Amino acid sequence: MKNFFRDWNLRRIIYLIGGIWAIVQSVMDKAWILIPLGLYFVAMAIFKFGCASGNCAIPYSSYQKQDKH
């Protein structure tokens, strides 16, 4: 079984807290249509995909290689 709770960083924690907050607020306000949005952010944090895995940033080493003309 894959360990989903390994290599946590600040971005993943923020996605998890924000997703849980969105789910709780959606339930309290009975805005059921917004629950999948919160679930998406929780899933991004737990399963480490999308921006939660750091794929949205350009690595510094790649940026340096392109800068040399």
pLDDT digits (tens, 9 = 90+) for 25-67: 999 999 999 999 999 999 988 888 877 666 676 666 655 555 5
Distance CA 24, CA 57 (A): 29
pTM recorded for the entire structure: 0.70
- Geometric angle at alpha carbon 51, from 46 and 57, rounded to 5°: 140
Residue 11 has pLDDT above 80, yes or no: yes
The HSE-up count of residue 18 (CA atoms within 13 Å, CB side) is 13
Instruction: Please state the domain extents for the chain.
Output: 10-67
Distance CA 26, CA 34 (A): 6
Structure tokens at 40: 């998406």
What's residue 60's pLDDT?
63
